[in-house]
Structure 1
Amino acid sequence: MNGFDPARLDEVLRDFAADKANFHSLLVERRGVMVAEAYKRGRDHAPWSPFRRDVAFDADTRHDMRSVSRTVTGLLWGIAQGQGLLPGLDTPVAGLYPELRKLAQRRRGLITIRHLLTMTCGLSWNEMHASSALNDELRLHWRAPAPYLFFHRLASPPGMRFNYNAGCTAVLGQLLARHTGVTLPEFARTQLFEPMGITDWVWDKDLRGRPLAFSGLHMRPSDLARLGRMVLRQGQWQGRAIVPADWLAQATRAHIDTGDGRQYGYHWWLGKVEALGGKHPWHAAFGNGGQRLYLVPSLDLVVVMTAGDYNKAEIGQQCSQLLKRVAGAILD
C-alpha cells in the first residue's frame, strides 16, 4: 500500500469511523497516490449560526475550510508577487492606505507586509473568545479591514511576537485585489483553481459583500489534497508552474515561534511528527473545527482532515494524534 502497513492503516480507518469526535473526512495521499479516503456523517454549522445540522459527508460534499482559507490566500499572494503585481514584503502597510498615513510616522507605521504574512504585526487582537462579541475575527465581518486592524493598540514591537490575527489576512486579501485589479475569488479561479482542474468551490463574503480572505473558502477535501500535492511538488502541477518555488520555500520555513512548540511561516504552521524511527517536519494549513492539510515532505505525504468541532481546543489534539497514527503506519 505505497509504503504503508495495511493492517495498521486499516486500524486507523476503523477507529476513525468509530471515533466520537466530530470528524467528517480523512484523506491520505502518498507519493502521488490516494491511499485512503474516508467520509462519514457528522454535525456542521456556519460561523454565524448556532444551529447545527446533520450532514452525510461524501467525496462530492464541499466543506467549510475556515482558516485554511488564510493559507490559500498566502498561496495567491505568492502567485501575484511572482507576477510582479504586488509591493515588496518589507513595504510599510500604513503607507498603502491614505486613511492610515497619519500612522506612518508612529510605531504602527513600522508594520510591513511580511509582518502580516507571519502574524507578527504586534497589534492587540483577540480571536480566543470564539463565540462572543469580544472576538475580533467576528467583528471583521462588518468592519473595514485596514482601519479596524490598525486602530488596535500596539502590544509588542512588529516582528517580535506571534499572535493569530484574521485582520492580517483580511488586509492581505484586500491589497491583493487592489493590485491585481480583480477580486480575490476571481484571482483564485484563474491563477490557482482552474489551472489545477478545481471547479467545485465557493468563497463566502462578509456582510458588506467582500470576500472573506481569512475564512470564506469551501471546497472538496480531495481538492484540498490536490493543492497539497502541488505544494509538495514545489508549486508544479502537471508540468505547469502554479506557485513560484522560491515563494513556497520561504513560506514554509519557520519565521516565528508560536509559543506552543510549533512555528509559523507565511500563513503556514510548522511542526514535527514521528515516523520510521525519527521526527519529520511538516507544514500545514489549519482551520477552526478540525480542518487540516498536513504536508510531510520527507515522507512524501499529504493528509487532509475535515471536522465540525468548532471552537473546541480538544479537536486540535485529536488532529495531531490522527496524523501521528497515520505516519506511524508507514513502513518505508
Structure 2
Amino acid sequence: MMLRMPPWGSVSRDGDPPLPYLNFSRAEWAALRANVPLSLSEEDIAALRGRNEPVSMADIAEVYLPLSRLLNLYVMASRGLNSMVESAFLGCPRISVPFIIGIAGSVGVGKSTFARLLQAVLSRWPDHPRVDLVTTDGFLLPTRVLEERSLMQRKGFPESYDLRRMIGFLAAVKAGERLQEVPLYSHEAYDIVPDRFQTVDRPDILIFEGLNVLQTGTDRSMVASDYFDFSIYLDATTSDIESWYVERFLLLQRTAFRKPTSYFHHYADLSPAEAAQVAGRIWNRINLPNLEANILPTRERARLIMRKARSHAISEVRLRYL
C-alpha cells in the first residue's frame, strides 16, 4: 500500500513536515477485512444504531470488521510485549490488564453509536470477549457544582469534568485493579445520578469514549491519552456535524424532550422552526467553540482518523504508521 497524502483536511500546520499517515479510501480499507467473518445481524445493528444515524450491514463489513482485525492485532501484540517484559525482564507473574481504546470527536459526530458497534464487533473475537464501554459523561461534574462554578454554559469543555477522578479511574484500570466504579450519567436528567455506578472489572478491552479524551495537559500531570493503547478520532466537516446535531435535536424534541422528567422538557412545545433556531444557538454558543478550541486540535494525536461523509458513512481512513 503506497502512502498517499489525504485529499481532505490538513496534515500539518504552519509549515510543519507532513504527519506520518497511511491514507485509505473506503474500498481500500474494506479490502483489509481479509477473512474476518460477519458477526452482527440486522437485529444487532438496529439495537445499536443511534436515533438519526443510519448504519448498514455494508458499514459493518467494510468499516468495522477491518478495524476489528487491526485492533485484534494490536491487542495480541500488546499482550505479547507485556508478557515478555513481566516474565523475561521483571521475573514476575503476568498480570492481565485491559487494552484501552480512546475514541474522540465532536458532539453530534456519532461517537456513541460508533463505540457501541465497535464494542459489539470486538466482543465477538474469541480472545477478548469481555469488552466494556465507558463514556466520559460519567465524569462530568454534577449540575450543582457546574452551577456554583458558572460552568453550565461550558458543559463538555475540559473544565466541566472531574479530571482527577477520570485519570484515577484510568490509572487503576491500567494497573489491573478490580471493581472500579464510574458514576452514571442521565441524559434525561442532564446530570450525574446520585449513588449509581457502572462497575468495570478487568475487561479484556476497555473503550473510553468522549469529547476531549485526546487533549494534552497544561502542566506535567498525566492526561487520559497516556493510558490509551490505541486512539480513534471520528471526523467530519464542521457543517455536516452541525446539521446532524440540529437533526438530532429536532428528533429528541419530538420524543425524549416530551417526558416531564426531561431537563429539556421546556423545549417540547416549540415549533420545528423554533426548535431548529434553539439548536443552532446552542451549537454556535457551546458545541462549535468547544470543537474549534479543544477537540479538533487533538485530531492528529489519534492513531486512526475515520472520516464521515454527509450520509454518516465512513468514507476515508487515515492510519498513523509511526
* TM-score normalised according to structure 1 size: 0.29
Question: Greater helix percent: which structure?
Answer: 2
* TM-score normalised according to structure 2 size: 0.30
